[in-house]
């Protein structure tokens, strides 16, 4: 796909290009999601991250259809929910998502959680490989997988996941997991890249000084840090002005000292669900 001018992209292990900054629609109600996605597309986003469990794939699809933007200029990710894991149900789940999105193919399809108590993620991964070969998704990956989950998928499958989407923000940087997966060609995506407002960014020591030096907000500095770390991000907002602000991070660069200072903010502070507990 074509990445908008001035924005950054990464190359997946499939050879496909993914815009590094997208928009997420987690907890965006269906009735407002269409406008949020329309606003995001209008201000310049071309990467949209949704999921079956968000119950807004239909709204995403309507916004895409009305935008008039050529399909090859968009990158669309959706995810398989836990209750649809298994060899008998995963394929139909993707077809349902495609129908709701109004698309023949998604760019990236993820297993949303390993759900280890269900213990179906390995057989589900093999179904995703079939869906990829059938052309229903350009790339396949996982979300919230830890090292031990990835190892089982890598042992059983023939395709290396293109991405692993995990909780990641300055207070929880996932250095050990990244050191394992990225050399294998698995890119890291961050959900909750700003900490999901579960802590105040101003609490992070030195972040305000970095923001002041660059004339940017705390959030813009954190988003820029993710980009320079090589992480794919999709911050969420239902406000058009905030969507624009989050996109305004391509006109400055953090110094090596800035990057080191933010790296030192890691406190191993998970604020979301632990992957072992995501068994709904």
CATH number, domain at 129?
Answer: 3.20.20.100
Q: Which domain holds residue 91?
A: 9-271
Read off the pLDDT of residues 65-110 as tens digits, 9 standing for 90 and up.
Answer: 999 999 999 999 999 999 999 999 999 999 999 999 999 999 999 9
Tokens of 280: 């709904």
**What mean pLDDT do residues 248-272 have?**
97
Q: In angstroms, how far is CA 237 from the centroid of its own chain?
A: 14
First to last CA, the chain: 35
Vertex 20: Cα angle to 16 and 21 (nearest 5): 135
Residue 4 forms part of a structural domain: no
Residue 277 included in any domain: no
**What is the mean predicted confidence (pLDDT) over 258-267?**
98
CA distance 242 to 30: 19
Confidence at residue 230, expressed as pLDDT on a 0 to 100 scale: 98
Whether 279 is in a domain gets the answer no
Tell me the per-residue pLDDT of 213-237, one tens digit each, with 9 for 90 and over. Answer: 999 999 999 999 999 999 999 998 9
Query: Quick check: is 41 in a domain?
Result: yes
Q: What is the pLDDT of residues 99-151, one digit of tens each?
A: 999 999 999 999 999 999 999 999 999 999 999 999 999 999 999 999 999 99
Output the CA–CA distances (angstroms, integers) from residue 109 to 153, 162, 199, in the order listed: 15, 10, 30
pLDDT of residue 36: 97
Ramachandran class of 203: left when φ > 0, alpha when ψ lies in -120 to 50, beta otherwise? alpha
In a domain, 3, yes or no: no
Does residue 155 lie within any of the structural domains?
yes
Residues labelled as active-site residues: 54
Query: What angle (nearest 5°) sits at the alpha carbon of residue 230, between those of residues 214 and 237?
Result: 65
Asked if residue 201 is part of any domain, the answer here is: yes
How many domains, the chain?
1
Q: Is residue 280 part of a domain?
A: no
């Amino acid at each position: 796909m074509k990445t908008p001018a001035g924005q950054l992209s990464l190359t997946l292990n499939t050879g496909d290009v993914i815009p590094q900054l997208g928009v997420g629609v987690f907890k965006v109600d269906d009735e407002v999601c269409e406008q949020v996605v329309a606003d995001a597309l209008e201000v310049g986003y071309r990467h949209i991250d949704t999921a079956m469990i968000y119950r807004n794939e239909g709204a995403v699809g309507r916004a895409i259809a009305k935008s008039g933007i050529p399909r090859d200029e968009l990158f669309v990710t959706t995810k398989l929910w836990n209750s649809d894991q298994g060899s008998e149900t995963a394929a139909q789940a993707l077809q349902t998502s495609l129908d709701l999105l109004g698309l023949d193919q998604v760019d990236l399809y993820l297993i949303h959680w390993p759900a280890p108590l269900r213990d179906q993620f390995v057989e589900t991964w093999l179904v995703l490989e079939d869906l990829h070969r059938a052309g229903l998704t350009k790339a396949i990956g996982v979300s919230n997988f830890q090292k031990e989950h990835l190892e089982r998928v890598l042992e059983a499958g023939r395709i290396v996941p293109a991405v692993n989407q995990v909780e990641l923000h300055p207070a929880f940087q996932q250095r050990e997991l990244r050191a394992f997966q990225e050399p294998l060609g698995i890119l890291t995506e961050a959900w909750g890249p700003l900490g999901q407002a579960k802590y105040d960014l101003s609490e992070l020591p030195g972040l305000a000084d970095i923001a002041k030096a660059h004339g940017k907000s705390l959030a813009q500095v954190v988003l820029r840090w993710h980009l320079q770390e090589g992480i794919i991000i999709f911050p969420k907002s239902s406000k058009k002005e905030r969507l624009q602000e989050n996109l305004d991070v391509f006109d400055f660069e953090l110094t090596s000292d800035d990057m080191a200072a933010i790296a030192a903010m890691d406190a191993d502070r998970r604020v979301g669900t632990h992957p072992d507990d995501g068994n709904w």
